[in-house]
Amino acid sequence: MKFTFALVASVLALSVSAAPLESETLVARAVATNLVPAFGVKAGVNPTGTGDCEGINKVKIPCSCPPNRAAFIKSLSANVAAGHAVKNPSIKVSFPKDGSKASKIARIQTAIITLQNLNGPGQGCPAASTTFSAQLKALTG
C-alpha cells in the first residue's frame, strides 16, 4: 500500500513539474510587437455604401480591413509559432528578429501572408488595405 501511494505521488509530481504552462509557451512564441509593420491605413475610411471603403491609391477594400491590430498580432504570432500560415498551411513563414534588410523583408512578407489568410486560404484582407506593399517595395526597390 505504501509503495502504491509513493508511486502515484511520484508520477503526479513528475507530470506536473514537466508540463509547460500554456502562458509561458505563448509568451515565448509571441512576436515582438515593435517589429510588426504598421498598417498605415485605418479601417472604415470613405465607405461607398456597398460594404467597400477606400484603401491605398483609392483601391476599394472591405470596410473591416485592416483588422484590429491586437487580433492581427495574435494571428501573426500563431503563424510564426507554427512556421506556416495556420489558416493556409502550405505557406511557410518566418519572422526574424534582427535589423537586417533581409529580415525586414521577411517580416513584411509574413505580415502580408497573415493579413491575406486571416480567416482561411485567401480569406482575409487585401494588401491594399495596408501600406505593407509600399514598405516592401521601399526595401526591395
Could you tell me the three cell numbers for 47?
465607405
Name the band, by pLDDT with cuts 50, 70 and 90, for residue 2: low
For the chain, the structural domain boundaries read 21-140
CA–CA separation, 114 vs 86, rounded Å? Answer: 9
Residue 112 and residue 41 in contact, taking contact as beta carbons nearer than 8 Å: no
Looking from the CA of 9 toward its CB, the CA atoms found within 13 Å total: 6
Q: Which pTM was predicted? A: 0.78
3-state DSSP assignment of residue 17: helix
CA–CA separation, 130 vs 85, rounded Å? Answer: 19
Residue 97 and residue 77 in contact, taking contact as beta carbons nearer than 8 Å: no
The answer on pLDDT for 125 being more than 70 is: yes
CA–CA separation, 131 vs 134, rounded Å? Answer: 5
3-state DSSP assignment of residue 49: coil
The answer on pLDDT for 14 being more than 60 is: no
Q: What is the pLDDT of residues 32-77, one digit of tens each?
A: 999 999 999 999 999 988 889 988 888 999 999 999 999 999 999 9
